[in-house]
Amino acid sequence: MAFGYDNPGSGFEQKMRERIIETAIEMNTGGTDFSTFKNSRCNPKYWIRTENGGFQLRSDVTPSAAIQDIFSNGQLYAFECAMAMVMILYKATIDMIGENAFNQHFTDLFLWDWNYDSNLRMITTFDPSEMQPGDVVYFKNPDHDPDKPEWQGENTVLLGNDSYYGHGLGIKSAEGIIRSLNRERVPGSRTSAYLTDEGLHPDFAYLQTLSSRSVRGPKGSGDAHHRIFSRIGVKSYITK
């Protein structure tokens, strides 16, 4: 099965989108389990499980090592789909900007639902024509069984070629994701789950500068500290 896309955008954005896709596939085969917050679990060597089922980074480990462990020791982890998306984005960010930069800019991590470090600078689009592989997209299940709130929808990574990764459901087509969600509806319901028009991705242009900040430092005529960010729609640009 082929994934990916032909994107003429910036080199950094294209490579990171590819890493997001590859990381989603890694999670799919990494042995992590799907669970509700009540039944979540993590490796206590790197994370402290909180009362609400979240994972708080231990103070004696680096952020990058803790994220990497989720993919290296997946059998020790169980979590829900929104947490999975944040983990994937963190791992792809590490691969793109390096461990040192990630540890410098992404500190005191707390994984729970859609809680994420502000340095991801998530950008949302509501135009399906602007969505690209590597985006996080959402399938809504409006008539889900009220006794199973975990099935009210599924956060997924768009892999390309009508393929999506959803934690707990695996890699499926849009029709396959919808079919799985429809099995969790109120008995007798005819209201189908559907793919929404909402897509998310990190601010790639900003993330690109984080690596140069850690190498060049906060001063200098050409460093990230003196760059100006502008945004038009879902596109971000860096200007001097």
For residue 148, give the nearest of 35, 32, 28, 49 by alpha carbon: 35
What's the pLDDT tens digit per position in 195-225? Answer: 999 999 999 999 999 987 754 443 333 343 3
- Any residues with CB less than 8 A from the CB of 129 and at least 6 apart, and which? none
pLDDT value of position 198 = 95
Confidence of residue 10 (pLDDT cuts 50, 70, 90): confident
Instruction: Check residue 214 and give its pLDDT.
Output: 53
pLDDT in tens, 104-147: 999 999 999 999 999 999 999 999 999 999 999 999 999 999 99
Q: Does this model's pTM top 0.85?
A: yes
Q: What is the pLDDT of residues 156-206, one digit of tens each?
A: 999 999 999 999 999 999 999 999 999 999 999 999 999 999 999 999 999
Task: Give me the residues paired with residue 194 across strands.
Answer: 140
pLDDT (tens digit, 9 = 90+) per residue, 40-53?
A: 999 999 999 999 99
Residue 4 confidence (pLDDT)? 55
**Position 234 confidence tier, pLDDT thresholds 50, 70, 90:** very low
Predicted confidence (pLDDT) per residue in 79-116, tens digit: 999 999 999 999 999 999 999 999 999 999 999 999 99
